[in-house]
Chains A and B, each alone.
Chain A
Amino acid sequence: MKKVPGPIHGSTEGNNVMLLIPCPHCGLRDQTEFSYCGDATVTRPATPEDADDAAWIEYLYMRDNPKGPHDELWQHVHGCRQLLRVGRDVTNHEIKAEDPS
């Protein structure tokens, strides 16, 4: 899975951002080619059998709903079918540059 490269603006200058997602494999593409695949900050326990109930339930069901920047998984379903890690500000749809770490 690749991270979306930055710096990224949807289309043009300023905040007049269209939800265009820069696919690292295919280039800048319209959101309608992608499908949202959930919160990218959730990590599946490496050995589920060793997770206690609380940790497993946290992974299955519990999600934060932060106002502002959010790390998300998007799949380029009508393109390369790769899953991407996309930083999106949920208040204004600005797609932010990713920390490469």
Chain B
Amino acid sequence: MSLRLPTGGRIDRNRTLTFRFDGRTYHGYHGDTLASALLANGVKVVGRSFKYHRPRGIFGAGSEDPSALVRLGDGARAEPNTRATQVELYDGLVAYSQNNWPSLKWDISAALGLLSRFLPAGFYYKTFKWPGKFWPYYEHIIRHMAGMGEAPTDRDPDRYEKRHAHCDVLVIGGGATGLSAAKDAAAEGNDVWLVDEGIPEAPANVTVMARTTAFGKYDDGLYGLLQQSSSDQAANAPRQILWLLRAKRVVLASGAIERPLVFANNDRPGIMLTSAALRYLDSFAVRAGRRAVIVTNNDSAYEAARKLIDGGIEVAAIIDQRHMAERHEIAGCEVLNNHAVIDTAGRGGLRHVTIAPLDVNGDAVPQAERRIDCDLLCLSGGFTPSVHLYSQAGGKLAFRDDIQSLVPDTDVPGLEVVGAANGDDIAQASAAIALSHAPGKQFIDLQNDVTAADVALAAREGYRSVEHLKRYTTLGMGTDQGKTANLNGIAVLGRALDKPMADVGVTTYRPPYTPVTIGAFAGRDVGAFLAPTRRTPMQEWHEDNGAVFVPAGMWRRPHYYPSPGESPSDAVSREARMVRQGVGIVDVSTLGRIDLHGPDTAEFLNRVYINGFKTLAIGMCRYGVMLRDDGMIFDDGTVARMDEEHYIMTTTTANAGPVMAHLEHYLQVVWPELDVHLTSITDQWAVTAVAGPRARQLLENLDSDMEFANQALPFMGWRAGQIGGIPAQVYRISFSGELAYEVAVPAGHGQACWEMLLAAGKALDVIPYGTEALTTLRVEKGHFVMGPEADGRASADDIGLSGMLSKRKDFIGRRSLRLPALAPEGRLNLVGLLPVDGKTAIPPGALILDRATAAPEAEKAGHVATAVFSPNLDQPIATAMVINGRGRLGAQLWAHSPLDNRIVPVEVVHPVFIDPKGERLRA
């Protein structure tokens, strides 16, 4: 007779499905899991174990299964370490066993089993860590040999989603207890959600979430649910949905998980939990074997035996470990009290078990041992309440002796634990025992290959706390989180320490209950959807005209505009040269703009910036530097006075948000008496900088009512007017050190203005330039920027700005300038660097050393901040932060790049390489 029964089960016998496992074709039915279909086909061995590469079969029937891990699918869709017990069968499913080479049957590393006495608990720590420098090599080999399945390297082609939801009552677990709780709550008019890992019954007025695991309880009453798609779902449906659910009340009806028993070779294919064998019979009409033996320590085995017999499985014997005067009677089945299974046999599947009576000490009597032939051994070691989510929610557990398990002991507001999860209706059981003289490995954790001997060894070596035991032996640290292993581990440790289980303690439960794919956490926040992209009003022009972009926060700014066939460095050099010789335009709309209004604005600016702002006249701009209260440079920019009580501040691109928050903080918390209103107007304006000796000529070619002569619009002045009918503001400010203007127009006119500027400059050979040329120009001019030079640790004096520090007023950060840490001696100063040979590029980010060696005796004297090739000086130049740098002008130092071990001799120079008197920008 086939292993599949002709009737029964929750399968559809009219829908035959074809699937492949390790290249062989099999058939199953709609409603099967991969595990039930494999069992129905008589497939016993489905994988090899983690450390010893022992053949392993199907051990459980749900998320508790530690050993039936397979790789599902091919190519980019391949998913390693998938539990065969939770994979719904579908037509065309492809799966592979893991941890075997060259094949499942002939695994070369199984020879490791012979060496296994050299791989005891903690062997990673003991054997391979020394000498330390070889660890990476050992690790590589160990990972290959003892690793789990292999992850695909291609991008995951599936779609994942994240959804948020709220409900009145969340019921976790769709068994009888959960269903009844859900029905009751719904009858009271609540919005009820019922989640179950499988496919539960669907009561009326309840939102049923099938194939859904409540995997974690997080802060603020947030529950994480992972919903798997069904095999019937449309191809474009999301593969998994991560639900972030908040419920007013939670009912935990997660049930209990059966425990295995501990004896030699208790891991062979054909050995499984009794509850799993029953589940395969009930739900899938599959007999997990033909002739079974049940080994037990509790009464639940007898009811199970009757069910197995009814399902057509011969039950040869029930081996009850308990000392009992009376024997249960089951027709056609030998029942033995005070006996234990002491060994098993069978390559590639169970053939027989060896049993023996137990003596008064609980040890087997070897003289009386005998064999019983069987192909299925059902383990019935009692039931462990699934308290994971309760424990995650902060509930404390207490040990209950009668069921030898940890059960909820304290109240967690808003969370009710019911049924078997609470320890209710669970048969009395004795503890798992491990024999002191076993003829083979007695596994506790099948996934991580942790044996009773490993636990005993850990105890002998002093790992007596259960938390230490876990980390030393890796007990319970697999993808199954030790659902079948933890309690037995505590029992065996208790015995080794001669302590009652109640005093051994328990490790903390942490999310997730079952593994959650990274894809589900990412959802659709991948690639371009990870973060929004900010676009300037001229972005389309940049894209249409071949700009190469560079990310700047959420912006993508033009890096440079290469001509056909031009290399990146040639393009940057051309752009920087053309600005110094002719005229160029650059999109600076990304700079932050803050509108300040109110009678106290001048006073506020005066407190915010290190330099004075009370004398700034209407129609003029002023450059300002602001510090944090700890005295470090926070940002810089210009402020234009628009009117009596109206100013516009610009900030750096990166600090637009932080500066706004900084100003709001001081206005609202520190100086609420100041009457100033702030508005971010960055997105309202499109701004183009026009720079170069021909900049004024370009502006004068525009159709405008403004005058740009030196007298009409002096350096640091601004004017309002119109350009080609567009309202515009023109600010005469310069970042490049050239004659320069910034033209601001309402954002919607940005591209039109940009194109008008290009047209007006056509006869002047105007070019657009990008941020790299901008950097080259500002380094040539010795301007610092936030980030490379002012990196949050630089004071105004470090950058050479002490002349700007007002002595006539207080300002944010001023008090810190008197702290000992800011005394000038020994601080890093901004300087320029030139290569001594005039040719060699200075490595960006290099260390500055005081001698020509990277050996440890060389003293670090600073670091290179920004390094560029200057087309206008025709040589590499750099800015650097050097200890006491301003006192070392003319000195020779060495720039050392540890990345490629280059050492470049450099000369320390004044940071302004071009036009130190500033005649160009005032021209």
Q: Min CB distance, B220 to chain A, in Å?
A: 4
**A–B pairs, 18, beta carbons within 8 Å:** A15-B413, A16-B249, A16-B413, A17-B220, A17-B221, A18-B220, A35-B661, A37-B665, A47-B810, A48-B810, A57-B819, A60-B629, A75-B664, A81-B664, A82-B668, A83-B664, A83-B665, A93-B220
Told that A37-B665, A75-B665, A81-B664 touch, could you supply 16 new A-B pairs with CB distance under 8 A? A1-B668, A10-B220, A11-B246, A12-B248, A14-B413, A44-B670, A48-B810, A48-B815, A49-B810, A53-B820, A56-B816, A61-B630, A73-B665, A73-B669, A83-B668, A93-B220
Which residues 555-613 of B have a CB within 8 angstroms of A? none
CB of B814 within 8 A of CB of A48, answer: yes
Q: Say yes or no: is A28 at the interface (Cβ < 8 Å to chain B).
A: no
Task: Assess whether A19 is interfacial by the CB under 8 Å rule.
Answer: yes
Binary contact track B795-833/A, C-beta < 8 Å → 1, others 0: 000000000000000100011101110000000000000
Chain A residues positioned under 8 Å from B335 (CB to CB): none
Select from chain A the residue with minimum beta-carbon distance to B812: A48
**CB of B343 to closest CB in A, whole Å:** 51
Known contacts: A16-B413, A16-B414. The answer to whether A93 contacts B815 by CB under 8 A is no
**Which chain A residues border B247 with CB–CB below 8 Å?**
16
Closest-CB distance, A70 to chain B (whole angstroms): 15
Interface presence of B303 (CB below 8 A): no
Give 9 nearest A-B pairs by CB, closest first.
Answer: A16-B414, A48-B815, A15-B413, A16-B221, A14-B413, A19-B220, A18-B220, A83-B668, A12-B248
Chain A 28-58 near chain B by CB (<8 Å), digits 1 or 0: 0001000101000000110111010100110
Measured CA separation A51–B815 after assembly (Å)? 8
CA–CA, A51 and B221, complex, Å: 45
A37: chain B residues within 8 A (beta carbon):
661, 665
What 1/0 flags go to A61-81 for Cβ under 8 Å of B? 100000000000101010001
Chain B residues within CB distance 8 Å of chain A: 219-222, 246-249, 413-414, 629-630, 661, 664-665, 668-670, 672, 810, 814-816, 818-820
Indicate if the CB atoms of A83 and B629 lie closer than 8 Å.
Answer: no
Residues on B with C-beta less than 8 A from A10 are 220-221
B824 → chain A, closest Cβ, in Å?
Answer: 17
Instruction: Report how far A15 CA is from B394 CA in the complex, Å.
Output: 12
Inter-subunit contact A77/B668 (CB<8 Å): no
A19 to B629, CA, bound (A): 31
The interface on chain A, measured as residues whose beta carbon lies within 8 A of the other chain's beta carbons, has a size of 33
Q: How far is the CA of A35 from the CA of B413 in the complex (A)?
A: 28
Interface centre among B222, B629, B814 (most CB of A within 10 A): B629
Rounded to whole Å, the gap between the CB of A76 and the closest CB of chain B is 10
Bound-state CA distance A48–B670 (Å) is 12
* Interface membership of A13, Cβ < 8 A: yes
Binding site for B on A (CB under 8 A): 1, 10-19, 31, 35, 37, 44-45, 47-49, 51, 53, 56-57, 59-61, 73, 75, 77, 81-83, 93
Q: Among A47, A48, A77, A81, find the residue whose CB has the most chain B CB atoms closer than 10 A.
A: A48
Contact of B248 among A1, A16, A82 (CB under 8 A): A16
Q: What are the residues of chain A within 8 A of B661 when measuring CB–CB?
A: 35, 37, 75, 77
Given contacts A1-B668, A17-B220, A19-B219, contact A44 B414 (CB under 8 A): no
Distance of A3 from chain B, by nearest CB (Å)? 12
The residues of A that contact B246 with a CB separation of less than 8 Å are 11, 18
Contact call A56/B414, Cβ cutoff below 8 A: no
Q: Which residues on A sit within 8 Å (CB–CB) of B810? A: 47-49
Q: Interface centre among A16, A18, A31, A75, by most B CB within 10 Å?
A: A16
Known pairs A44-B670, A49-B814, A83-B665; A14 contacts B219 (CB<8 A): no
Decide: A18 near B665, CB < 8 A? Known: A48-B810, A51-B815: no
Compute how far the CA of A95 lies from the CA of B413 in the bound complex, rounded to whole angstroms.
Answer: 16
Neighbouring B residues of A56 by C-beta, 8 Å: 815-816, 819
* A83-B414 contact given A17-B220, A19-B219, A93-B219, CB 8 Å threshold: no
Residue of A nearest to B657 (CB): A77
The verdict on A1 contacting B815 (CB below 8 Å), with A35-B661, A75-B661 known, is: no
Q: How far is the CA of A40 from the CA of B629 in the complex (A)?
A: 16
By the criterion CB–CB under 8 Å, are A49 and B221 in contact?
Answer: no
CA distance A59 to B661 in the complex (A): 19
B656 to chain A, nearest CB (A): 13
In the docked arrangement, what's the CA distance between A10 and B220, Å?
8
Tell me the nearest residue of chain B to A81, going by C-beta.
B664
Could you say which of B414, B669, B810, B816 has the most chain A C-beta atoms within 10 Å of its C-beta?
B669
Cβ B819 vs Cβ A53 within 8 A:
yes
The answer to whether A11 touches B815 (Cβ under 8 A) is: no
List of B residues within 8 angstroms of A47 by Cβ: 810
Q: What's the nearest-Cβ distance from chain A to residue B800, in Å?
A: 24
Say whether B248 contacts A13, CB under 8 Å: yes
Q: Is the CB of A83 within 8 A of B221?
A: no
How far apart are B445's CB and chain A's nearest CB, in angstroms? Answer: 34
Residue in chain A with minimal CB distance to B631: A60
Of the candidates B220, B222, B815, which one forms a contact with A49 in the assembled complex, judged by CB atoms under 8 Å apart?
B815
| Nearest B residue to A77, CB-CB | B661
Check A11/B221 contact, CB under 8 A, given A18-B246, A51-B815, A60-B816: yes
The residues of A that contact B669 with a CB separation of less than 8 Å are 1, 73, 83
Q: Once the chains are docked, how many angstroms separate the CA of A13 from the CA of B816?
A: 48
* In the complex, chain B residues whose CB is within 8 Å of the CB of A61: 630
C-alpha spacing A47/B671, complex, angstroms: 12
Assembly CA distance A15 to B219 (angstroms): 11
Residue of B248, B668, B814, B815 most packed against chain A (CB within 10 A): B815
